[in-house]
Each structure stands twice: as structure tokens, then as C-alpha cells.
Structure 1
């Protein structure tokens, strides 16, 4: 897909993503939704980004211009919008750039079932957008807009109903919550308090400039949370991205927990023999080990929630049981709850794990701590440089003695470790991921593909 990529539309505001373009996307989506005849209103929510209100207004205008009424939900976590869409039976538009830096924003489309739109649906909207075949209505048929209150409260109530509240409360956990100034600031602290946890917060003031830390919850951005966990004697630290559909953890010692280790721990507790787990092509060997031990299957997709959601739907349609899915970046899905990534729910499931096992977080993930992960981002400037990078990586990959997987980018598996290089679907960077049992080996594997890009020139 040329427009929606792996996680919706994203770009630098007033450069790649303008209000006019947001209106165009909304008109195209509204034209497809309205064509079905059973959609007459659409919900809109946004994260805390400084440009969110402006773009939400543009989206609302676009939808109204094709005859759809608009439910304005205000600032809300993406899974909160998805819960509303499912409950009300209306599609939704989320204005968010998730983990991207503050200058970015984006648009994600959700169906009336609360699930991200499947690829074929996105492709139909994309054709409308690119062909400029939207269906504006006469002035007296334009849609109305209304503000909807109580949506955050309803989202939290739904979370509480889906979690073993008694077990978590009995464990008397202290949780340090770091929403990173994003949409989780207005729901996650309250949720964990009502779950029975003692809650400490950091970077919990909604602020679209993200003054405390960058929205992406990676190790390099979570130093404050690690120190905060140590100083407050918290049992667990929880960090979200900008729209709170992801959760990354810090253990009771203030140590960063690899997202793939948390995914492995949660998957091990959820799967049985014969189940299927869905992950992306950068899946950790930790997850492979867990599924093998349980007698479950692991199926891999291109990176991005759109692909994972589509695979879950396909598998369930054939009768497969998919208890858990997701990536090592903290974006985890529990399809029996909802086919959606939900940072608050993921963190609650991790709290359940601590409560049921009676173990600290460090011990829960220690079983899956046999691997070291490295990630590097290499920026490019323009399509020619991007293609030159990919050509250089392909040459290196084809010349290697490793097993090559080209599901998404180039993944080289050496038996004792693997390395993957692929262009990001949300930023102008090529990402390099590597994993091995030692830090030196992981660094060497990353260097192999990173070295192919050093000194690269484009005439």
C-alpha cells in the first residue's frame, strides 16, 4: 500500500502530513464507509500531540463533507477508541503517530468491530484517495458533530472487567506508570489504582511536546523511569508510547525488561499445545523457544500491527486458536479480549503474572533472558538514498552463508543468532535488528549489515 503502510498514515505535520491531506484521507474513508449504506457516523479520537486538535478538526470536516456524522471523543488511547467503536458499532479514526517524535502525526482507521481495517479495505480507501473519487454531498446533507463524554471511564471499566482484579489487588503491587506525556496519562494511572495497585507516576502530564522523554518506550528513553522505580521501591515500571497501545516494563530492580522477554513470558502463560502464536519477522528466539516447548505453532508476518491483525483474522476464520500475538516492541494482542494492541491491558496481564506466581518481575522474565538484542536506525534522505541502502543490504545478504528470509526486508539466520534489516514503515530510516546469546555476537551481527551502509554515497 502506498498510503497506509504498516501502521496507517504518518508524516511530519505541515510537511508530509497537512490538514488538507488529512481531510482528503477522511473523505476517501467516509466515501467507502458511506457507500456500504450501513454507516452514518464515525468516531474520532486523538493522542496528546500538539497538532492533534488541528488534524482531528480536518478529519471531522472531511467526514462531514461526505455526509457522515462525527462523534468527537477527544484525547484517548487508541485502544479506548477501538473499544468505543466495537461497543457502538461505528468505525473510527485515530489521529496519532504512536511512538514517533513530536513533529509527527498520523491517521489510523478502525472498523465498526473495533479492529484495524484489513488490507483489502484500506486498499479500497487508498484507491478512492489516489483516484480522487470521493462522494461529497449537498450542503443540506452534510454531517453533524457531537462531543461524547464518559468514553475514558467506559474504557477503564471494560479493562477492569477483563482482568483478575482480586488477584492483582491481593498482591499489593506498587506500579510506577510512565505514560510519556501521551494519551495513557489520562487513563492508565486511574486504571491501575482501581485495579488495586499503589500507583506512582512520572511523565504523566498530557503534553504533546513530550518534554520528559521521547514517545518511543525503548531502553534509551527510559532512564528516568528506571531511577524512579528504584527510588520508590516499586514492584514494576510500566511505560507507554504516545497512544498507549504498547507497554514496556522495568523490573523491581530498575532494570529494563526486553520487550521480547515480556512477550515470551506472557505467551508462555497463555498458550497450550496446538495453539498458534502470531508475531512479526523480527520475532525473538525467546518466542520460538516458548512455542516449541508448549507444542504450539508460530507464524510470522511482515512487521506492523496491520499484518499481525490480518493474520489473526485469517487463522481464526479457519478454526485456529490464537491466544496471544504481537511484537517485542510492547505491542501485544490477546485476541480473546480484543484484536487490538492495548498497553494498559498488557500491563495488567503482566501484573496478573506477578500475582499468580508470587514472584518479582526480574524472576518472571529471567527464564527468557538468554538472548541479547541490538537495534540500530540509519537515516536516509530521499528515495534514491533509501533504495541505495536496500541494494547494499541485499548484496550483503545474498553473499552471506546464513539462511535468508525476505518476508519483510532481509533476515539472516546463523543458528547462533540472527540479523534483520528493513525500511521503517513510519519513519525515514532503515532499521537493523540483531539477536544472539552474547552482546558481542549481537553487535557483530548488527555491524555486518550496518557496515554495508557506512560510507555509502548516492550521486
Structure 2
């Protein structure tokens, strides 16, 4: 079975996961929780899912496996991943979210949560080892579906209450905001929360079929939709999220999407953070923001969470994290609107959406103007889908083999000045522009990130970078 842990959870083809594999990993997770003392027989364990066609079946199989392992399964239904995580922290319960996030509809995955929050890389290794031990046993894995107690209303209510306390009453009055609903599990909650704060909300593009939306590399087709809606309805902004609602998408009044790391920065400033943990792929201009200490990590929420936890252990206060996809995490509590926003160390799309919309409403200025004031370098990214894993591995090995290889590869683009190898290869060129090559951690995709001083230069650099990747693939033939 071609399943693997990526930047956030287990991922693979739905056909590989939907069956014994789902039962295998659910059982392995239950055994790990029980053997490590993080759960006892009979303890509750949460189960949520996105709207993919395969998610209900995979969820039912996991429910059966978890029940047979001795745990009490609470079905939280189709809720955003941060809602599941928040409910788990409230109940002190572990959880599984059946989701492929933003990856194509023919794929799916499982995100795992301990009773104290999202699993770390060391937990992934333990779960993988438990799964390998189960596979080695002679008896077949039982993939019989099971039932679960319905806790969807409780999980949803807790998350809505959190988000309805972040801003003052009427804080978004005067804003007309579109909600691109597509197939994200956050679609109805976004409408309810924004309307609660007085925004004029326009639901858009609701779909019965699953549509993968990558908030870090928004497709041209999606951008065309956003621009059309922004013009047609005279919107101040359009908001959305990926499939499981933990990565935000926000466009300005023209329909142009805002960078996720910019959303994270605004969220950090909104809560009054002192420390921001973010992957190497986030904008290099973050380090120039006053009053914010920036710590860099590899790509993936487990690495961000680990660094946030280390910052807290070191005595740091006001600690947040965010990724280039916009998902924002809080490692410490914050006081907002006179109430405490409890730490939620998992990706959340709602906090950054509310932060950026409240800034627009408070300053009574277009989002495009607010973005221009922050003046980060122009950063773009894109991906090549269905890029064989062996080809991406070969490309990275070739580029890492020596500066001669890297220089020759980049010769049509520019001259390397310095290189970072934290996660993929991030190359600063002689003109101080940046190009970064990185295989996706959870899908057969090759990603390219760029930064430059102007939009035109960034667009050209991204186009050239993707062309070099395709040329390498073609040469391997």
C-alpha cells in the first residue's frame, strides 16, 4: 500500500486507504495510545472527516477498528480540523481526522491527535512501527465498519463559541464578504461567524462534488472565479479554506489572493504575539517586522509545533506559529476582546481570516492598500502535480551533489549566492531574489517558491523555475 506520513498526517490514494489500511492505522494508533499511557480502555476518541467521497467509508472503518481496540468512539462529523482538535483538548481525548486536505479528490488521509494535541514526528514513527508489527502478524486486519456516538453538535458549538468571542460585536459591519464555499467543511461556519460580526455575507460556489483547493498555490481557474465574483458582487474580500478547514484563503477586493504567510503575520500582530514560528518557505521579509522574533523550521505543522513548544519551554511568551499556507497556530493563551483565547497548537483558518478582515474594517481601507503598507517582498509559489516521487528525489540528489550541478541547473535563471538546505533547496541569487525547490511532503508534487522585488520579476522567476523542473523530468524521459 503506497501510504506515507507527510507534512501533516498519513496520505495516499483513496483506493489504498479505504479498506484494511484504514483499520490497520486506526488500530496501530489505538495501541500506541494505550501502550504509552495516553489513553485507557474505554476512554473517548474523536473522529471527524471532510467531504471527500471516500471519507465516510474510511471513517466508519476507523470507528470499527477503534472500538475493537477498546476505545469509545465519538463521531464529530464533518467539522474543520481545528474544531476537532479544540474539542479533543476540551475533553482530553485523542482524535482522528479523515482528510486529504488540499490534495486531489482521488487521494485521502488521516490526521492524528493525542489528548494534548497534534502528534509529533516521534509519534508518527511509533504509529508506523505499530502498523508494521500488525502487518507482520498472520491474522488479517478486520476492516468491518463500526458505529459511534454522535458528538458533531458539541464539537461545532465549542468552535463557534471560540470564534464568536474573538472580535467585538459588529466588528465587521460595513464589509461585504464573499465565502467561497466549494467543498470545505468550514463553509457554513464561515458564513455564521462573519454574519455574527455584522458582515454582509455572500455565499459563493457551493459544490456537492469535492474540489481540492490549495491555499498555498491557488490555481489560475480559482483566481479567475474569485476575480469574477469580486467584480460581480462588489466585494471587499472573499474568504475560504482547504478541504478540512485548517488553511485559509483570503482575496482582496479585486479577487487577488493574499499570501498565506502575510495572513499569518497579520494574525500574529492581531493577537500581540512576540514570537512567530514559521517554515523556511515563508516570506523572508518577516524578519524585518518590528517587535516580532521569527524562528524558522522545516515545512509541516509537526516541526512548527515542536519549535513553538521549545520556545515556551525557554520562557518565551506570546508564541504563535503559521505556515506559508496561512494556517495559524497558537502555543500560548492570548487575551482578545476581554476574553481568553486558549492556545490551539494546530493549524486554524478562522483566526487569520478574522484578523485580516477586522483590520480592513477598523482602518476602513481596501485590503490591497493594507497589503501594500506591509511591503513584503513579492513571493509566489506553484507546483507540478503528478510529479513522480522518484523523479523529485533524483532532482534533489542532483542539485545537492555539488555547486557545479546547482549552478548549471540555474544558469538560465541566475547565479547562486547562498543556499539553505533546511527543507528542499532555497537559493539566494546574485540579484538577491530567491528560488526554492522542494518536493511535497504528502503528495506526488514538486513545488517551486520564489521571491523578488517586483511582481513581474517574481512571475518570470517562477515560470523559469517550473520550466527547469520540467526540463529535468523530460531529460530523465
Q: TM range, normalised to the smaller chain?
A: 0.7 to 0.9
**Post-superposition offset of 1:77:** 0.8
Of 363-372 and 191-200, deviating more is: 363-372
Alignment check: 8 A CA contact 2:311 2:319 kept: no
Alignment check: 8 A CA contact 2:121 2:302 kept: yes
Which of the residues 151, 171, 174 maps onto 1:172?
Answer: 174
Q: Distance in 1 between matches of 2:136 and 2:188?
A: 36
> Which residue pairs with 2:163 in the alignment?
159
SS at structure 2 position matched to 1:402: strand
**Post-superposition offset of 1:257:** 2.1
Q: How many residues align?
A: 441
* 1:379-412 superposed Cα distances (whole Å, 9 cap, x missing partner): 5664432322222333543775321111111111
1:411 aligns with 2:426: yes
TM-score for both structures, normalised by structure 2 = 0.85
TM-score for both structures, normalised by structure 1 = 0.88
1:309 aligns with 2:324: no
* 1:254-274 superposed Cα distances (whole Å, 9 cap, x missing partner): 3332333333333344456xx
- Could you say if the C-alpha distance between residues 449 and 413 of structure 1 is closer, same or farther in structure 2, counting changes exceeding 3 Å? farther
- Could you say if the C-alpha distance between residues 134 and 77 of structure 1 is closer, same or farther in structure 2, counting changes exceeding 3 Å? farther
- Could you say if the C-alpha distance between residues 397 and 178 of structure 1 is closer, same or farther in structure 2, counting changes exceeding 3 Å? same
**Post-superposition offset of 1:442:** 2.7
> Which residue pairs with 1:76 in the alignment?
79
Alignment check: 8 A CA contact 1:64 1:70 kept: yes
1:397 aligns with 2:397: no
Alignment check: 8 A CA contact 1:181 1:204 kept: yes
> Which residue pairs with 1:284 in the alignment?
283
> Which residue pairs with 2:377 in the alignment?
371
* 1:3-58 superposed Cα distances (whole Å, 9 cap, x missing partner): 3221101112104x232111111000000112216442200000111111000011
> Which residue pairs with 1:422 in the alignment?
438
> Which residue pairs with 2:293 in the alignment?
297
**Post-superposition offset of 1:67:** 0.9
- Could you say if the C-alpha distance between residues 55 and 62 of structure 1 is closer, same or farther in structure 2, counting changes exceeding 3 Å? same
> Which residue pairs with 2:321 in the alignment?
325
> Which residue pairs with 2:108 in the alignment?
105
**Post-superposition offset of 1:203:** 2.2
Which of the residues 456, 464, 468 maps onto 1:451?
Answer: 468
- Could you say if the C-alpha distance between residues 448 and 14 of structure 1 is closer, same or farther in structure 2, counting changes exceeding 3 Å? closer
**Post-superposition offset of 1:448:** 5.0
Q: Distance in 1 between matches of 2:456 and 2:362?
A: 36
SS at structure 1 position matched to 2:205: coil
> Which residue pairs with 2:187 in the alignment?
185
Q: Distance in 1 between matches of 2:56 and 2:287?
A: 42
Q: Distance in 1 between matches of 2:122 and 2:259?
A: 34
Q: Distance in 1 between matches of 2:377 and 2:387?
A: 33
Q: Distance in 2 between matches of 1:318 and 1:95?
A: 34
> Which residue pairs with 2:20 in the alignment?
20
Alignment check: 8 A CA contact 1:271 1:324 kept: no
**Post-superposition offset of 1:328:** 2.4
> Which residue pairs with 2:53 in the alignment?
50
Q: Distance in 2 between matches of 1:116 and 1:74?
A: 19
1:351 aligns with 2:352: no
SS at structure 1 position matched to 2:179: strand
Q: How does 1:200-219 map to 2 (within 5 A)?
A: 200-205=202-207, 207-210=208-211, 214-217=212-215, 218=218
- Could you say if the C-alpha distance between residues 270 and 69 of structure 1 is closer, same or farther in structure 2, counting changes exceeding 3 Å? closer
> Which residue pairs with 2:338 in the alignment?
none
Query: Which consecutive residues of structure 1, in runs of 5 or more, have no partner in the other structure?
Result: none
**Post-superposition offset of 1:440:** 4.5
Alignment check: 8 A CA contact 2:270 2:355 kept: no
Q: Distance in 1 between matches of 2:15 and 2:256?
A: 39
Q: Distance in 2 between matches of 1:453 and 1:322?
A: 43
